[in-house]
Amino acid sequence: MTPLNHSLHVAVPTAFDHEERLDTKRTIAHILQLQKLGIKSVLVCGSTGEQHSLTLTEKRQLLHALAQETSWAADFEFLFGLAGIVFHETLALAEAISKNPRIDGVVLGFPPYLCLSQKEAVLYAQGLINTCEKPVILYNNPRRTGFDLSAESLLTLIADPRVIGLKEAGSKERVPQLKTKTAVDFRFYAGGEADLAEKVALGFNGLSSMAGNLCPKEIEVIWQGLLKGDATISTSNEWQKMEQAAAGDPTDTISYLPWLKQQITIDGQPFGFCRQPLGLETSDRFGTGSIPPDLA
């Protein structure tokens, strides 16, 4: 299994038009902007919560659009979010990923709300790993899903050499102990920039960045500085910009993802909308709480 070359990736949002239809062109245009600014790896359809609003058909459309684009650099890496509540649909997505040469790996999340048992979670993950046939980063986010992957289940899954990392958004304190039981090159990814210096000190050696959507050059400088043990990086101008990008709306009136999309522009035009209820408090697309025209 070919490993992933880059320890930093930017988790990109998905563009939707004013009627909440998937906009692959604007999504790709944003990724191309990041590529021009030095980013070498992105996560699509993951880490923003939007993947669970996308249908299987839409996810396939996004996969197809990524493969059709011809402007990617030879060393640019794509990760694709792989998770879902309906298992047979998630397996179908894994199969589509396996056939897509543009996708270099997956971030495998556990379904929200279902609160799987550990055994169910292991079987769920193993089925997807065997089907997608790509390098896999497991994603543990108990606050979002209601499920917390145990250390025992993790060790069971990483016995498969295709599992090359864990994005840990649960207990960061368990990472030093887990590192004693994993291979030297196994990656522990921080989900976002919160407590980033502390996480690197604990042994995190990968970053799934949200702030990088707004300050890609700065996040590269910060990440390389942290990996090299640069004690001054947390007082740099780059760090200040990163903290502002990671904090979200300074007035605290809208949630992070709608705010993030408001900051992103493509050739001077807005990036796109969120699917409601995200952004509902600032949206005048349909009137408060109304139904999109094509669903009415």
Examine the pLDDT at 7 and tell me if it is beyond 70: yes
3-class SS of residue 90: helix
Confidence of residue 148 (pLDDT cuts 50, 70, 90): very high
Mean per-residue pLDDT, 269-285: 82
* φ, ψ for residue 183, nearest 5 deg: -65, 155
CA dihedral sign, ordered 21, 25, 31, 33: negative
pLDDT of residue 281: 73
Confidence of residue 92 (pLDDT cuts 50, 70, 90): very high
d(CA 280, CA 207) in angstroms, rounded, equals 30
Examine the pLDDT at 1 and tell me if it is beyond 60: no
Mean per-residue pLDDT, 263-280: 91
pLDDT of residue 290: 60
d(CA 255, CA 36) in angstroms, rounded, equals 28
pLDDT of residue 279: 86
Alpha-carbon distance values, 242 to 196, 203, 216, 231 (Å) = 11, 21, 9, 16
Mean per-residue pLDDT, 181-193: 96
Mean per-residue pLDDT, 205-214: 98
pLDDT tens for residues 15-37?
A: 999 999 999 999 999 999 999 99
